[in-house]
Amino acid sequence: MAKLKLSGKDLRAIGYPESPVISLAMDIMEKNYKRNSKEYALNLLKAVLARPREYAEDEVLGKIAVALIEREEKAAAKAATEVSLKPEGVAYNIFGGEFIEEGAIAQMNNAVRLPISVAGALMPDAHQGYGLPIGGVLATENAVIPYGVGVDIGCRMCLSVFDIDPKELEFRESYFERELNEETLFGSGREFKQRTDHDILYRKEFGEIPILRGLRDRAASQLGTSGGGNHFVEFGIVDIAEKDIVLGIEPGSYLGLLSHSGSRAIGANVANHYTKLAKEKRRLPADAANLAWFTLDEEEGIEYFMSMSLAGDYASACHHVIHDKIAKQLGREPIKMVENHHNFAWKEMYEGKEVIVHRKGATPAGKGVLGIIPGSMTTPGFIVKGKGESASINSASHGAGRKMSRTAALNSFTAKQLKEELEKQGVKLIGGGLDEAPFAYKDIRTVMDAQKQLVDTIGTFTPKIVKMDDTPPRQRKKVKEVMGE
């Protein structure tokens, strides 16, 4: 068989741009695929051109793919509209500012200087993130910021309250531990072999929006699973001191099931895809680049908002599957379920006009709205009712908030310290790691004191049997990168 020989004309004919990538591709193909047919080589080059990111790490084709990606990104940067931040941002309120890190405040200062910003607020659990800080709330005019929502779209709290004596948790600890082990699954990429059917899987968006078409099967296999990091499912004690009309539970102690997780691969893929498109469309200063947005009049903005909404509903469905499975095993229906999103964008009214309220790591706290604000694996969570405070754009914290990074936590504490704290608080931990040790979090009571203006506490949840991801912390990042979560 004759050696493979390609020409620039051949590559241009299949869509390769007039650039040095043509010579590079010809050289690589003729050296590494010299015994293959011309048709085979050109079909392979078509595939690399169509999906360069899939080939970026290929030992041979990776150089071609990277060259195509770099050319694409340079072209996008030239095409993007350059956007400047306003010299002065809209005023915003900070709650618990004395224990919020400077990085989070700097990020919020950038966010309120966007041309689309209407109002902002920073919650007492705030810390630095990507784009909008975690604990940041931003109202915008007719615009949505993918990284103002975050990667784990629709991350959610869900509490089921059962009319069961919570002393059962002590008397039958092994039974409740078994139920958590059998009915839950944690970690990036984890999937159930036996799938649960649900209406969410038949939503029209899976067929209408390109990014979602390839995610439906994965969504079906991950339905009812939880991610890694700070996600959990736990049994604990619900205490209600006084009857609240909205909550509707008589005073007393109850058994509670509390879960925290999000939209799994759907949210991660949607966030990364649309953030890339937004940054290609609008180029902001480097320290604000992740705040690129779409208007809701643009096709991408409409698509993102629909995809985000599906991801949020999918996160809710995951929680309901978990709670339904465990309720069935307990043989009881919950007497009350309380749940709320964070990491989402809502269309709401603010000072007489419709705005898009981004709550990245913040709990909706409109007047009379119920929510859950958790502490850590050994500290209580709080059932709250919003006061509808406009100063916080009807928002409150979504938890205690980290006071140190995962890496810092891993380097600061020992397994012995964690074990002693768990024993002191009477908590059984299944999985988890030092990166989620309670010492890595702010004092939840201090956080709650800083937002008395925003919510009323109407009940507490004290964790007793906690299940989290058991993947070693330093491996989680690698797995998440591979699985696109």
Each residue's pLDDT tens digit, 5-55: 999 999 999 999 999 999 999 999 999 998 899 999 999 999 999 988 888
> Are the C-beta atoms of 152 and 267 separated by less than 8 Å?
yes
* Token duo for residue 273: 């895809």
Instruction: Give me the mean pLDDT over the 217-246 stretch.
Output: 94
Each residue's pLDDT tens digit, 287-305: 999 999 999 999 999 999 9
Each residue's pLDDT tens digit, 60-91: 999 999 999 888 877 776 667 888 899 999 99
> Within this chain, do residues 34 and 161 fall inside the same structural domain, yes or no?
no
Percent of the chain having pLDDT more than 70? Answer: 96
pLDDT at position 75 is 77
- What residues make up the domain containing 414? 153-261+305-340+363-483
Each residue's pLDDT tens digit, 148-182: 999 999 999 999 999 999 999 999 999 999 999 99
pLDDT at position 407 is 87
> Within this chain, do residues 46 and 162 fall inside the same structural domain, yes or no?
no
pLDDT at position 192 is 85
> Within this chain, do residues 314 and 220 fall inside the same structural domain, yes or no?
yes
Instruction: Give me the mean pLDDT over the 269-285 stretch.
Output: 94
Residue 96 is assigned to a structural domain of this protein:
no
> Within this chain, do residues 435 and 321 fall inside the same structural domain, yes or no?
yes
Each residue's pLDDT tens digit, 324-345: 999 999 999 999 999 999 999 9
> Within this chain, do residues 37 and 164 fall inside the same structural domain, yes or no?
no
d(CA 191, CA 219): 9
228 pLDDT higher than 60: yes
pLDDT at position 179 is 95
The mean of the pLDDT values for the chain is 92
Q: Read off the pLDDT band of 276 (50, 70, 90).
A: very high
Domain of 158, CATH number, reads 3.90.1860.10
477 pLDDT higher than 70: no
1 pLDDT higher than 70: no
Residue 373 is assigned to a structural domain of this protein:
yes
Residue 15 is assigned to a structural domain of this protein:
yes
> Within this chain, do residues 198 and 315 fall inside the same structural domain, yes or no?
yes
Which has more pLDDT, 425 or 473?
425
Instruction: Give me the mean pLDDT over the 368-381 stretch.
Output: 96
> Are the C-beta atoms of 120 and 147 separated by less than 8 Å?
no
pTM for this predicted structure: 0.82
> Within this chain, do residues 173 and 321 fall inside the same structural domain, yes or no?
yes
d(CA 342, CA 46): 42
Residue 461 is assigned to a structural domain of this protein:
yes
CA of residue 337 relative to chain centroid, distance: 22
Each residue's pLDDT tens digit, 186-209: 987 778 888 999 999 999 999 999
Residue 123 is assigned to a structural domain of this protein:
no
CA Rg, the chain, in Å?
Answer: 25
Residue 87 is assigned to a structural domain of this protein:
no
> Within this chain, do residues 66 and 161 fall inside the same structural domain, yes or no?
no
> Are the C-beta atoms of 32 and 39 separated by less than 8 Å?
no
pLDDT at position 51 is 87
Residue 377 is assigned to a structural domain of this protein:
yes
> Within this chain, do residues 229 and 322 fall inside the same structural domain, yes or no?
yes
Q: Read off the pLDDT band of 58 (50, 70, 90).
A: confident
**∠ Cα 472 461 463 (to 5°):** 35
Percent of the chain having pLDDT more than 90? Answer: 83
> Within this chain, do residues 71 and 160 fall inside the same structural domain, yes or no?
no
pLDDT at position 406 is 85
pLDDT at position 56 is 86
pLDDT at position 473 is 61
Q: Read off the pLDDT band of 470 (50, 70, 90).
A: confident
Q: Read off the pLDDT band of 369 (50, 70, 90).
A: very high
pLDDT at position 474 is 52
pLDDT at position 93 is 97
| Overall number of domains in the chain | 2
> Within this chain, do residues 193 and 48 fall inside the same structural domain, yes or no?
no
SS3 string, the chain, reads CCCCCCCHHHHHHCCCCCCHHHHHHHHHHHHHCCCCCHHHHHHHHHHHHHCHHHCCCCCCCHHHHHHHHHHHHHHHHHHCEECCCCCCCCCEEECCHHHCCHHHHHHHHHHCCCCCEEEEEEEEEEECCCCCCEEEEEEECCEECHHHHCCCCCCEEEEEEECCCCCHHHHCHHHHHHHHHHHCCECCCCCCCCCCCCHHHHCCHHHHCHHHHCCHHHHHHHCCCECCCCCEEEEEEEEECCCCCCCCCCCEEEEEEEEEECCHHHHHHHHHHHHHHHHHHEECCHHHHHHCCEECCCHHHHHHHHHHHHHHHHHHHHHHHHHHHHHHHHCCCCCEEEEEECCEEEEEEECCEEEEEEEECEEECCCCCEEEECCCCCCCEEEEEECCCHHHCCEEECCCCECCCHHHHHHHCCHHHHHHHHHHHCCEEECCCHHHCHHHECCHHHHHHCCCCCEEEEEEEEEEEEECCCCCHHHHHHHHHHHCC
Q: What are phi and psi of 176, to 5 degrees?
A: -70, -35
> Within this chain, do residues 438 and 316 fall inside the same structural domain, yes or no?
yes
| Of the candidates 467, 156, 131, the residue with the CA atom closest to the CA atom of residue 279 | 131
